[in-house]
Structure 1
């Protein structure tokens, strides 16, 4: 498989230089391409984007507004959307018509670096990102502008919730997420997400699934620091909710449901624990890193009415120092009939992943029904 970092390559550099020269005949294409491409093969993905951004800083006009004019004139056409409001995957064929794709990570970085200098620069930078995000995404680039010039940024985002482009409307939500993965953490919004709530309210019934998914992820971000706020949001906005909003709120609630947050469970009618008995059995008492372990849960109802249940499980991973840390995994959502016994089977992978190292030792697995632990089992993991 081709390394991901090769999405930014010498062809990317040459194509960027070509379109910048078309947009601004005085552009020093040779200098840009030399600086952007030198040693590129030795760099990892982000470092490649940053090197392109360095080359843009060295060769675009010193006047920031003029530099933005050049960048905007060099862009490929906006990415079209399908009937569900999802961006179409057009690949590299668009590059013949202007700068698009991963080269725009570097363009966004350039705008972020220069756009924080003053409020006037931030205003021009936001306008440029409005164009960039329609070809790629500006969710990382906009965050320094929100951090440095929050009043201007949120006034702009407030206007963008009505933008005709779904790319721009998504940027309103995605760019202002408090804890965007791999993005600059917006600590002021971690502490108080109030500035983003009117934006999310305006977008939660957006016609584009692309936008609504971002709103759900944004609310899930907020839930990590303000769980009761999100539980209240879900409770209030589930009333007479269309199917699309219900799906959004369910996705926004996912971490709180897995964590057994009582107000969130109550909002979804899951406040009651299992009325009955549960057992959990594992396929083996020992397993090896790289293998898997089978889970079999049996739920027996002792209720006279159907029970709506969300069944998850947590693996208490052994850490390097010998302590354990639970990680909740999604399991099943079901309705258990009166007197019914239901058997649920799952295979749990023990393959290492980039976000988690597996260490030898005794791993406890607990079964959770509507957030309440109802059964446990354990296995020994070998290196």
Structure 2
């Protein structure tokens, strides 16, 4: 995370101060300049907040005036990169506090202007939280914007579980609210936009799995060459959870197969280490079997209970009577996103949503 934090560093602060001073020579920007010496030991989010608070202290309290400063700064090509994040946060703060009737709408327009320089997906969240319907009325119009960065902002900024971003409870309570954005963009010509649509759909699947599958089915009824990939990525969590509708839509119906128990290369894994395993699948049916092969690791938690995580292994097709051996090595290393605890673990196979008996093993330090 150290390198990530350094995306906002003293050099970025100095560049931002220089650019804003040119756009607003009447502003002293003393608070902003002082932040360059205060960045040590702060996370990227904390550095963003520090700079935003400084901008609020240095720039006019009137939203319209400060928005004008930021728009004039866009004339400078160096006004780009991670310095934009605190700028977008500052604009959102001022707009939400402004008595101006249309300042929120203007701020959304400003975020659309800024997002090609660095995504405004984080700053938009507080506007969504303040009045979701008001914001979505503007954002829906972005789906036909000529700049793909703005179209991506429409779908990425409104995701239920956008990484690094604050939650917008109304989006999780009303998962259908953002579906019109996805319908407008699932066939977008730009891969980054389509991938955002898929990630957005995958987020919605946590709360509205049946509605997500129905949406994906409508898309598959009128697909282009990219729709199957969007749907596969958007349904990936439901596939791991063996949702029947997702399995059927993605072409993994019930099959007649035999699956051997996973053969573990060892029963004790020392951290850090790896566990190799293999198994065999035989197609016992009269037709080819299209398979979604996954495996679940049941991790030991600090309180002694088990919590599983499903991993994809492959999507093979087996001819009638065909048997195939599969092998995999799974790493066990301490990470910021997963802390391994010693004790009993288990590994379990899942094929087309069907779970097979687990094999147990120990993890030791």
Q: Same fold (TM over 0.5)?
A: yes
Runs ≥4 residues deviating over 6 A: none
Aligned match of 2:94: 114
| Mapped contact 1:52–1:106 kept (Cα < 8 A) | yes
Structure 2 residue matching 1:98: 3-state secondary structure: coil
Deviations 1:335-382 (Å, cap 9, x if unpaired)?
011111101111100011212110111111100001111242121100
Rounded to whole Å, the distance in 1 between the matches of 2:2 and 2:363 is 33
* 1:304 maps to which of 286, 294, 311: 286
Q: 1:169 aligns with which of 137, 148, 151?
A: 151
**How far apart in 1 are the matches of 2:71 and 2:131?**
22
Alignment pair present for 1:57 and 2:45: no
Quote the residue 1:94 is aligned against: none
String of CA shifts for 1:282-323, please: whole Å, max 9, x gaps.
111110121110021211111111000000000000011111
Gaps of 5+ in 1: 78-96
Once residues 165 and 356 of structure 1 are traced to their aligned partners in structure 2, the CA distance between those partners, rounded to angstroms, is: 38
Q: Does 1:125 align with 2:124?
A: no
Q: Using the alignment, how far apart are the partners of 2:131 and 2:323 within structure 1?
A: 58
In structure 2, the partner of 1:8 is: 8
> Cα deviations across residues 59-108 of structure 1 (Å, max 9, x unaligned)?
1112111101101211367xxxxxxxxxxxxxxxxxxx332111111111
Give distance in 1, aligned partners of 2:344 and 2:224.
46
Coordinate RMSD, CA, aligned? 1.6
Q: Provide the residue aligned with 1:135 in structure 2.
A: 117
Residues 207-245 of structure 1: CA deviation (Å, up to 9, x unaligned): 111110000000000001111111111222212422211
Matches within 5 A, 1:289-328: 289-328=271-310
Q: How does 1:19-98 map to 2 (within 5 A)?
A: 19-34=19-34, 36-75=35-74, 97-98=77-78
Write the distance in 1 (CA, Å) between the matches of 2:142 and 2:47. 31
How far apart in 2 are the matches of 1:274 and 1:310? 13
Q: Which runs of 5+ in 2 are unaligned?
A: none
Show the counterpart of 1:208.
190
Q: Which residue of 1 aligns with 2:137?
A: 155
Q: TM (normalized to structure 2)?
A: 0.96
Equivalent pairs counted in the alignment come to 363
SS at match of 2:259: strand
SS at match of 2:232: helix
SS of 1:279's equivalent in the other structure is coil
Task: Tell me the TM-score normalised to structure 1 length.
Answer: 0.91
Q: Residues of 2 paired with 1:180 and 1:218: CA distance?
A: 8
Q: Find the counterpart in structure 2 of residue 264 from structure 1.
A: 246
- What secondary structure, in the 3-state scheme, does the structure 1 residue paired with 2:159 have? coil
Mark the CA change 1:33 to 1:68 in structure 2 (over 3 Å): closer, same or farther. Answer: same
Shift of 1:151: 2.8
